[in-house]
Structure 1
Amino acid sequence: MAFAELLDQVGNLGRFQILQIVFLCTTIIIMYPHLFLENFTAAIPAHRCWVHLLDNDTISANDTGTLSQEDLLRVSIPLDSSLRPEKCRRFIHPQWQLLHQNGTFPNVTELDTEPCVDGWVYDRSTFSSTIVTEWELVCESQSLRLVVQSVLMTGALLGSPVYGYLSDRFGRKLGLRLSILQLAITGTSAAMAPNLLIYSSLRFLAGFCITVIVSNSCALMLEWVQPQSRALVTMLMLNVCSAGQILLGGLASAIQDWRTLMLIFSVPLFVNFLVSRKLVESAQWLIISNRIEEGVKELRRAARINGRLHAEENLTFEFVKSTMQKELDTPQVKISVFELFRAPKLRLRVCFTSLLRFATGLTFYGLALNVQYFGKSIFLAQILFGSVILASRCVFYPALNHIGRRTSQLLLFFTSGLCFLAIAFLFQEMPSTCAVLATVGISVISIINIIACLHHNELIPTILRLTSGGIQVLTSRTGAALAPLVMILGVYSLHLPWIIYGVICILAGLASQALPETKDCPLPNTIQDMENDTRESRKIRQEDMKITQF
């Protein structure tokens, strides 16, 4: 409540906040595609074994007489069960007798074929170059491609708590600038990697800071706006993520070389890093961290940019200190992950918000890894994926300001859960209906992500907000990492993965009711503020906010 009075002096959603949002959104739209780059840089094109008759440049056309390319392919490469050329084996010797068979030649024994000892030939009509074609990550080495994606997600798992702690300890601006610089360096270096080991190591370091940029950006802006504007700011930040997915699909269809594509999403971040010097640190964090003079300086700077010259004169050290006296008199808490689990209410909030983020991560990536619901073209799938999420969030936004956080999450989790359960029983009989249900499900989960992010920032005290945010990202990425394993259960039953997704969503909806409502409430600054938070005190603060605004 106290800091809200200071924000009244500075101004809400003025020129200062808009400039900050524009810069942060520009950074996110360049950064976010890094999460999905391997959909294109590690794409597996159609391929077959290199064979002497077809691919040796020294052989002239006369050496093979009048035989066509199709005939040479048939005598050199066996067919698989779908009557297509095998991708990983070739005949040891040309099987000329196959040219005289009207149908498929009887089964060829293992002695007649061998692995692709001379390498592979790739279809380069869609991708001129990927890490798969460059380092031949096919057949026996195909699992190494999945290792790269796992390494990226592992980096995100470990990096979020580390950067979250650093941001609560040393400031939002420093944590954000370091993560931008790290992603710029690792992304650019990965585009020049000479082998898979170095590439994977650099992608791990990139994953370390990707999600931090989004969480730090959201936290920084939420601490600069009034409660009634938080939903709008959060929606803008996360919608830019969807715009990044659309941008990735469009550029990837035009740029077929993986190194060039990676450079396009890495080099501009150096410019963003340099411009980030102009960012204004969270005055709320500075004051709560007992750096009042710096906080006053940032408040005055924001008021000046917003054209509040009179307010700039009023924002003196004494005025700010007296306004925030209650928070400043509270004993300082040491920034630590362990502090999140000492106070009973804080512990409860961290555990339940982590459970919700785990559920959204599991179900969101469970659908994201099954792009067959969005079409066969990988480029079109990426564009549709981002477009559906973007549209659904915009449509739901007006309701977000009128429906509470708890009610929204309950209704949306139940909706997605019912969609997944319906898919489980219609999976084989009505594929088109399932595609529609999957689209609705992923749209709803994307909306829940906004509400969960907003609700978490409104529940956790300023002093530990990003430390807790790191835990949230950790649990979300854990869910994302488990999503492919859940889909593997489809080998035993096609219904089982969707039943699991549906049940988890319904349980998460019930768990959301254990958290307090925070719509239009001021952000808690200290653990004491949060522990003293009751339903009655929230009503009083909301009434005080209305009086202050009037």
Structure 2
Amino acid sequence: MKFDDLIVEYLGEFGRYQRVQFCLVVLPTLFCALHSLSWTFIAPNVSHRCRLPTDIGEHPIYDIGPSELLTGCDSGNSSNCVYQTCTLKNNQTCQNGYVYSDYSRYTALERWDLICDRHILKPVVQSAYYLGQFLGSLVFGFLGDRYGRKKIFLTAIGIQFFSGIGMSLAPTWYLFALFRVGSGFAHPGIFMTAVILGMELIGPSIRSLASVISGALFSCGQVFLGLAAYFIADYQHLQMTITLPAVLFVTYIWLIPESARWLVSQRRYKEADKILRRAARQNGKHLPETWWEQLEVDSNAGSESRGTEKRNFTDLFRTPRIRCRTFVLFYVWPVVSMAYYGMSMKPDILGNNPYVNFIAGGIFEIPASVFMFLTVDRLGRKPLLIGGLTTAGLTLLSNMFISEAVFAWAPTIQFLLSKASMTLTYSTLYAYTPELFPTEIRNMAVGGCSMMARIGASSASFMVMYLVEIYGRQSITIPFSTTLILAALTVFLVLPETAGAALPETITHLEAPKNVSLRTDDNDKSIPLVEKSPSTD
């Protein structure tokens, strides 16, 4: 018997216990959206000009009339006149500071003058979050497989909470960036662990629900962030608003158990038994005594005094099938992350109002996640992933030919369609990736993919917050679209379909030829969760 069979037969695929635990573990993913994208509204673009000696007061008037414009223009028509943003008419720098066009909001951009020669600091601060995610993906993925899901989950929530408080109180941009590294560091420990915790105790037919609900909550977080940013004018108050509610997660110390599947993989049967019996009791089911003796066993599992071999990051590259899957996903994940976060960080990149686009983009992501859930088992993981990548790539490419000059709402439609496609892709990736790797390195593999995704997200920070403002939107639409289409082609050619397959449990099992049994003669006693016929490449 496989562990999936144990769940279906003795617990039920999605009973009362699983529903309650599932809702609890995925809820913190909402806060990942709030923190990862908050910089979009904490330091938004604001028109500015040099401060003149004649400008009086803390917030002087931005529009000083045609006679005082700092760039030459037709004196008969001042409508086309613009201010030089970083120099005076004689090309001198703004020695007196800057005047901003809108003082109704208190932003980090204004507080620390992240413009002109300090403009590069804006993507630096945002990429600090992704640097934290990069490190967190590597660390939490490894620790989650070695020391358990719950400890890592709670630790990450605590780090995110205190980093959020630190950002709201930081007096300098570099301290803000440091706390942003901490918040990013916690992100994979929360999001990927929530997905894995959610999927490891539910039946295989609805396993994709973990990534779908997590993705939908992430989208809800975007909607809440957009609404909060619209109504809260002070960036420090905004940061505090998206941080403080997480204090409620301290109750998870008592409410959330360790992953029973992980405990079984470590042969900690007594601890797993307590959790599964509680689940069976709440679901109105009966769990047999010494159920672990019914589980299938890897023939190599007993070689080390019945101890579990400790795996590390290099196991992602040691064997051929896992190595092939790792290389493909290490390309696909950063490409998807680059496009998704690039669109999210600059919602007006294709045109129109950033608040409307951001909130509408978050709303449109929810039906995309629902569509993924309803079709991922019928159509399969590969078709959805390939379709989402291709649609997003072609939609972004179309902006070069159909812009607001052709149709006023074209940029909004393109933005929403590309965001929905990227959400479909991301949700599918989170469901698909864990199924491609065995239990003993699953958390590490997802963590590694998340780590690589940070390279794409960090690149997107500099592209949308720096290059676009210098060279225009084509500097991202072309690389985004081409890399997405190439990723779709790579998935089509290399990766296997996993829909309906049981989760592989060991590297030996996944790499074994098809139909090779992995039982031992030791009374069929188990190391957990090995299927007899692994999916092949």
Q: TM-score range by the shorter chain?
A: 0.7 to 0.9
Partner of 1:176: 153
**C-alpha deviation, 1:24, in angstroms:** 2.6
**Secondary structure of residue in 1 paired with 2:497:** coil
**Which residue, 395, 404, 423 being the options, matches 1:419?**
395
Partner of 1:352: 328
- Structure 1 pair 434–187 and aligned structure 2 pair: CA distance change class (3 A): closer
Matched, 1:511 2:509: no
TM-score, normalised by the number of residues in structure 1: 0.83
Counterpart residue identity of residue 341, structure 1 = F
Tell me which protein shows more helix as a share of its residues.
1
Deviation per residue, 1:261-310 (Å, 9 max, x gap): 111222222221333432121111111112121111221122233233x3
2:49–2:84 Cα contact (<8 Å) kept? yes
Unaligned runs of at least 5 residues, structure 1: 60-68, 91-107, 545-550
Counterpart residue identity of residue 12, structure 2 = G
Partner of 1:322: 294
CA distance in 2 between partners of 1:543 and 1:138 (Å): 58
Cα RMSD (Å) of the superposition?
3.2
Partner of 1:367: 343
- Structure 1 pair 45–417 and aligned structure 2 pair: CA distance change class (3 A): closer
2:30–2:217 Cα contact (<8 Å) kept? yes
CA distance in 1 between partners of 2:154 and 2:384 (Å): 34
**C-alpha deviation, 1:396, in angstroms:** 4.2
Matched, 1:18 2:19: yes
Equivalent positions of 1:70-89 (< 5 A) are 78-79=70-71, 82-89=80-87
**C-alpha deviation, 1:126, in angstroms:** 4.2
Partner of 1:407: 383
**Secondary structure of residue in 2 paired with 1:371:** coil
**C-alpha deviation, 1:210, in angstroms:** 1.4
1:51–1:76 Cα contact (<8 Å) kept? no
Partner of 1:477: 454
CA distance in 1 between partners of 2:142 and 2:370 (Å): 32
CA distance in 2 between partners of 1:501 and 1:43 (Å): 22
Equivalent positions of 1:66-145 (< 5 A) are 78-79=70-71, 82-89=80-87, 108-110=89-91, 114-127=92-105, 129-145=106-122
Partner of 1:465: 442
Counterpart residue identity of residue 501, structure 1 = F
Equivalent positions of 1:123-522 (< 5 A) are 123-127=101-105, 129-308=106-285, 310-311=286-287, 314=288, 316=289, 318-326=290-298, 329=301, 332-372=308-348, 376-426=352-402, 430=406, 433=410, 435-483=412-460, 488=467, 497-513=476-492, 514-522=494-502
1:189–1:202 Cα contact (<8 Å) kept? yes
2:361–2:420 Cα contact (<8 Å) kept? no
1:180–1:213 Cα contact (<8 Å) kept? yes
CA distance in 1 between partners of 2:491 and 2:454 (Å): 19
CA distance in 2 between partners of 1:429 and 1:254 (Å): 31
- Structure 1 pair 305–80 and aligned structure 2 pair: CA distance change class (3 A): farther
- Structure 1 pair 543–258 and aligned structure 2 pair: CA distance change class (3 A): same
1:184–1:267 Cα contact (<8 Å) kept? yes
**Which residue, 511, 519, 527 being the options, matches 1:531?**
511
1:161–1:467 Cα contact (<8 Å) kept? yes
How many residues align structurally? 506
**C-alpha deviation, 1:165, in angstroms:** 0.6
CA distance in 1 between partners of 2:310 and 2:26 (Å): 32
CA distance in 1 between partners of 2:189 and 2:161 (Å): 14
2:124–2:462 Cα contact (<8 Å) kept? no
Which segment drifts farther, 363-372 or 505-514? 363-372
Which segment drifts farther, 256-265 or 405-414? 405-414
**Secondary structure of residue in 2 paired with 1:83:** coil
CA distance in 1 between partners of 2:36 and 2:219 (Å): 12
Counterpart residue identity of residue 254, structure 1 = F
**C-alpha deviation, 1:464, in angstroms:** 0.7
**C-alpha deviation, 1:406, in angstroms:** 2.0
Counterpart residue identity of residue 309, structure 2 = V
CA distance in 2 between partners of 1:496 and 1:258 (Å): 29
**Secondary structure of residue in 2 paired with 1:372:** coil
Counterpart residue identity of residue 4, structure 1 = D
Which segment drifts farther, 344-353 or 322-331? 322-331
**Secondary structure of residue in 1 paired with 2:378:** coil
- Structure 1 pair 88–421 and aligned structure 2 pair: CA distance change class (3 A): closer
**Secondary structure of residue in 1 paired with 2:379:** coil
- Structure 1 pair 369–72 and aligned structure 2 pair: CA distance change class (3 A): closer
**C-alpha deviation, 1:470, in angstroms:** 1.3
- Structure 1 pair 342–109 and aligned structure 2 pair: CA distance change class (3 A): closer
Partner of 2:77: none
**Secondary structure of residue in 2 paired with 1:401:** helix
TM-score, normalised by the number of residues in structure 2: 0.85
**C-alpha deviation, 1:474, in angstroms:** 1.7
- Structure 1 pair 194–415 and aligned structure 2 pair: CA distance change class (3 A): closer
